[in-house]
Structure 1
Amino acid sequence: MIPLPHARHAGGRLIGLLWLALLVAGSLPGRAAQPQAGATVPIITTTDEQGHPRFLFQPDDLLVGIDTTVTWINQTIPPHTVTFENLAVDSGVITSGQSFSYTFTTPGEYRYTCSIHTDMRARVRVLPVPLLPRAWLPQVVR
């Protein structure tokens, strides 16, 4: 069992609960949105059921802490964009092998799309606190 930080007031309880949430999120394999201290989002190609190419932001649901820089890298031949719905931020055209980075300084949910391939959709969720790298989180005793 891993001891949680003791809390003597409401703020301490919140920190303890946040610590526990980060511990659990960092130890669960296969979750769609695991906390990241820094993140890279490859733009990839897969195929649909009919064998047609399908472009994706991978992951399409990213959870990061405040002041995290996220980098999108185009790993496909066609160009793409990272265009946010609720931010005045647009990457411009990202050609094959190029990247675009943005640092999130405000907590919230940020949905984005590729303005060239409008079926490409994803989101970044930003927590109000910085996150530790996953390797720094203690391992859960099984």
Structure 2
Amino acid sequence: MDETLKRAWMAGLLLAACCLPASAQALRDPTRPPAFLMPGGAGARAAAPAASGPQLQSILIGRQPGGRHIAVIDGETVSLGGSYKGARVTRMTPNEVELVRGSERRVLKLNAPSGTMPAGRVERVRVD
């Protein structure tokens, strides 16, 4: 009888453990970007303005005088004097790339003060 009580007690304990609600807490991924940076994430539209033009992602300028000047715009690599979607790359600095198409000039900035990537500033200039 002593063995039967032990088995019944163990079975009851096992049944109780299985019926308890799981209380494990989900772990937060420390490498996951904030929700407002995720496409379709909570607050994505409220925190970041909609992109209205090309996005400058990177600028690489060679150290030697006359070195290579390369920029990455919307994932496309362009060089100084080259073209991006019909616009000519006329100027590169460590933080800006200037695109000219006809009489339209657009300056793409790499570092924005608000922490978001700007779409660029469009100005009309007279080209002689």
TM over 0.5: no
Greater RCO between the two (CA within 8 Å, min separation 6)?
1
Q: TM-score, normalised by structure 1?
A: 0.27
Structure ID, larger Rg: 2
Structure showing the higher helix proportion among its residues: 2
Higher strand share: 1
- TM-score norm. by structure 2 comes to 0.29
